Structure 1
């Protein structure tokens, strides 16, 4: 795949846990592995990493984080969030509750945010059915393949803060 930098530069991290509903980041990584993207990027699953996320951001110029979200969108919606917007939404830091936004705020404060950091959220919820979940994971894979290709194809939909796919539950 032709993309900026070498294959070792890109790290894609699925954040969540193996618990149903919070496993969308992990499921996305499994889908990316099945599509062969592990040949052109470092793929990881992290179980609610908190501050240990910083260890996985260091020494990387490009990182994509994938996580389940609850933003009031239709289940299965895929949204690209800017790191800046996510950091702004962080709660005051606490050693007892360091979520993704708070971990990124800490990384920013310590100067270890990668040059290119993308956060992809997949809307979850009780109405997320198998078809919506599968469609959302396909959309995540499409977005990431476009990013890694470096040719700009499909990147017009990869604008931070814009919902790029929304499957309505029937």
Structure 2
């Protein structure tokens, strides 16, 4: 089973992960996939990173790039790159959760991260245009996974 986790909050572009999941729900996905939306989950993310053949985590981060810039990497890469240590806009973010799992020797599913550079964090405002376009682009990429697999 493929699990797609959209992380976020109601703060402007931080809704990116939620929007990607919403677009995938609208298009329909195969029964072999599970869609999950989490609001600043902290360590509650940990169980969602287990028990799947593959996990895709979708989140908005601040990586000092142009708004809407997408990167894709494996969770192991995220932990090895010192520049990624403060990416999250959440209290206990994705990196902290991955470090906790590593420290506790918790076995996780293979995790692929799809991260976008956020542009703004105004509460309850919609996604900025560049981040909305990035969400649509990412949904197309994810849909290709279903046709290739």
1:35 and 2:27 matched = yes
Residues 49 and 111, structure 2, Cα contact 8 Å, conserved in 1: no
Instruction: Return structure 1 stretches of 4+ with deviation > 4 angstroms.
Output: none
1:106 and 2:103 matched = no
Q: Deviations over 1:78-105 (max 9, x none)?
A: 11022112223447xxxxx521111012
Q: 1:138 pairs with 132, 136, 139, which one?
A: 136
Alpha-carbon separation, structure 2, partners of 1:42 and 1:71: 28
Q: Deviations over 1:41-92 (max 9, x none)?
A: 100111111111111122112100000011122111111022112223447x
Q: 1:102 to 1:90 in 2, by over 3 A?
A: farther
1:121 and 2:115 matched = yes
Alpha-carbon separation, structure 1, partners of 2:147 and 2:108: 22
Residues 83 and 118, structure 1, Cα contact 8 Å, conserved in 2: yes
State the structure with bigger RCO (CA 8 A, min sep 6), 1 or 2.
2
Aligned length: 135
1:71 and 2:63 matched = yes
Q: 1:30 to 1:38 in 2, by over 3 A?
A: farther
Q: What are the equivalent positions in structure 2 for 1:127-166 lying under 5 Å apart?
A: 129-130=128-129, 132-151=130-149
Q: 1:145 to 1:73 in 2, by over 3 A?
A: same
1:145 CA displacement: 1.6
RMSD over equivalenced CA pairs, Å: 2.0
Q: Which has the larger radius of gyration?
A: 1
TM-score w.r.t. structure 1 length? 0.71
User: Could you say what secondary structure the match of 1:21 adopts?
Assistant: helix
Moved more, 15-24 or 61-70: 15-24
Larger helix fraction of residues: 2
Q: Which runs of 5+ in 1 are unaligned?
A: 1-8, 92-96, 152-170
1:19 CA displacement: 2.3
